[in-house]
Amino acid sequence: MSSYPWAAGYIDDGDRPKIVTSRFQYEDSYTLDRYHATGGYEGLRAALARTPGEVHEDVKAATVLGRGGAGFPAGTKWGLMPPGKFPRYLVVNGDESEPGTYKDRLLMERDPHQLVEGCLIAAYAAGLSQVFLYIRGEMPLAHERVGVALNEAYAAGYIGKNILGTAFSVDIVLHWGAGAYVVGEETALIESLEGKRGEPRLKPPFFPAAIGLYGQPTIVNNVETLSNLPWLLTNGSAAFTAIGTATSPGTRMVAVSGHVKRPGVYEIVNGSTTFRDIIFGDEFSQGIRDDNELKAFVPGGGSAPWFTADQLDIPFEGRAAGAAGSMLGSGAVMVMDHTTDIPKAALTLTHFYAAESCGQCTPCREGGTWLERVLQRVVDGRGTSSDLDQLLQIGESICPGAFPHASSERLGLSATPFPYKMTTICFVGPSAYAPVHSALTLFRDEFEARIAVSSATVRKQIPVTAVGAH
Amino acid sequence: MSRLSEANVILAKEIIGRYPKARSATIPLLHLSQQQNGYVTNEAIAHVAELVGATSAEVMGTATFYEMFKFEPVGKYLVNICGTMSCQLLGADELMHHAEERLGVKAGGTTADGMFTLEHAECQAACTEAPNMQVNYRHCHRMTTTAFDQLIEDLAAGRLDGEIPPHGTLARVRQQIPADKAAGVASPDASVVPAWMPAPEAAK
């Protein structure tokens, strides 16, 4: 059960530091009054008392890793913009749609002022002249809460012309999405913001920091990433890096769902918390439901290759997860117990990415749909033995060469580390393949059993007559 | 007559004015037209195109990309049942099957009385509360077949009208940027160094 009825899914258990969820305990957490009473906008004041360059250096020193999925440090990203090219824009990625991911919506609904303040700090530090806050269309409550927060902040003088009496002026425009997973990819988000179909752009050259919205240098940052900035500016980068590890300081929000006793959204200590802690810990998900056995889990959102019990002691740290054959992604752990129909589970995820393809790249558009069809045939008991190798061949045309996967003691397999090569403009095509590849690599026997069943059924139904016999 | 109403044109122009390029207002205006008419009509597409300076074909091209824009009338309540991973692991198939039986339509269909449209949906960002569904994009968590039946009954009786607006209406409160407080759009055509940034530009 959620710790607070007004924050569905959020679990407040244990004595861990809270950087972004500190106000979730209050029912009125989203109001300006509560925000002021709990140190709100002090981070902005601290930033405005220093030069933009100093604030930028502080954010870089803190190593605030992107919390959208790619994990790229925010301060470094800001520094990639070419000098002298203006205006620059900030586009906030509030398009949370990755399967298993649930944190940005909570932050927008429960602490919208924290996000607003984070946007202002980023705009000040990096010289961003206008902010577009893109919220997923299917989250109308988030639109309302953020909309009201923006109205309150404008009235109080935190946004707009000459903020708090300084030379800093910026508008924040609330923009609504309309339902498209691929738009969460930063260049597709920009295309959507320009009024077009959300088709990703090729990188290079279209890294947004270089060529972004309307062709201008643009920073695209995730909601949770920006929400860290107020605490960071108020408490200092030393306090931030004192939490977590050197490569992964601070905290992360992680959603654990599926076959666990206590699914929930947890703010964990970054870098040191392990998957065993997250899935089995008393402060966290408390183990598998009904004390069933863990079969597999997706460690980092639907696009991530699967882990099994062999990987439970991997810490929530980017390099460790990559070396082990997967990724941290968007902080979404989906747990499958021994009752799970693995081919069906793989189909569910592959279907998602195939359906969400923007259609630009042939390997994704055709390959994703093809993977889904073949997999559907296998799941329905109409598969043949050549279907399994065909799935791998299709995957090869989306991601040539070795595809990342976890090690398996049971199968005598060693890990193939991240990343993969891809023939597509963005990662949606590879994501359609990842669940298939993981399922086939780690649980091929289940697929073969499915094929054997269907072949036996077919043999019974169609009597085979020898050629030439009458 | 489904072109934007006079009041909505005023709102549309205000929205367009927030963006450096008018085309950026395409999706917000399509939402506005859907709020007015319940779905996206060809007339509304043509009107949005006039307002943002695009062709109808361009606006239709944008509109057809996005799941939320419906091109035929939808029931008063759009019931979206999530079928992605965590919900699938915790009974989404059973919930959808039950919904189809209870409403008497297959996923994709609308009930004869025009009240409910049932659809498959993808991840609704509430995975810890599986199985999930949305009614007009308002979340309903930890659904059971019993809870579903109760919900349908409440909706049909109008008991939830305060919480769940009709299809097409998303946020019930809009952003307002007062003219006297606005910093102003940052046009990409005018290379202006932000006033608070040191000159010469000191980016790293």
B161, pLDDT greater than 90:
yes
Cβ-proximal residues to A172 (8 Å cutoff; 6+ apart), any chain: A116, A119, A120, A131, A132, A133, A150, A153, A159
Q: Residues of A numbered 40-59 whose beta carbons fall under 8 angstroms of chain B's beta carbons: which are they? A: 51-53, 56
Q: Residues of A numbered 387-416 whose beta carbons fall under 8 angstroms of chain B's beta carbons: which are they? A: none
pLDDT in tens, A303-345: 999 999 999 999 999 999 999 999 999 999 999 999 999 999 9
Q: Which residue of B has its CA nearest to A139?
A: B137
Backbone phi, psi, residue B111, to 5°: -65, 155
- What is the per-residue pLDDT for B203? 47
pLDDT in tens, A115-151: 999 999 999 999 999 999 999 999 999 999 999 999 9
Place of tokens 């005598």: A412
Give residue B204's pLDDT band: very low, low, confident or very high (50, 70, 90). Answer: very low
Facing residue for A140 by CB, picked from B126, B129, B137: B137
What letter represents residue B171's amino acid? A
Say if residue B163 is exposed, middle or buried (CB neighbours under 10 Å; 0-12, 13-18, 19+).
Answer: exposed
What letter represents residue A426's amino acid? C
A465, pLDDT greater than 70:
no
Q: Residues of A numbered 182-201 whose beta carbons fall under 8 angstroms of chain B's beta carbons: which are they? A: 192-198
pLDDT in tens, B172-191: 999 999 999 999 999 999 99
- What is the per-residue pLDDT for A452? 83
A464, pLDDT greater than 80:
no
A298, pLDDT greater than 90:
yes
Q: For residue A99, which residues of chain B lie inside 8 Å, CB to CB?
A: 84-86, 122-123, 127
Facing residue for B196 by CB, picked from A168, A259, A344: A168
A109 touching B, CB under 8 A? Answer: no
Mean pLDDT to the nearest integer, A444-462: 78
Q: Which residue of A has its CA nearest to B140?
A: A8
Facing residue for B203 by CB, picked from A83, A100, A124: A83
Largest CA distance in chain A: 98
- Report the alpha-carbon distance of residue A98 to residue A365 in Å, rounded: 19
Say if residue A245 is exposed, middle or buried (CB neighbours under 10 Å; 0-12, 13-18, 19+).
Answer: middle
- Report the alpha-carbon distance of residue A69 to residue A329 in Å, rounded: 4
Backbone phi, psi, residue B17, to 5°: -65, -15
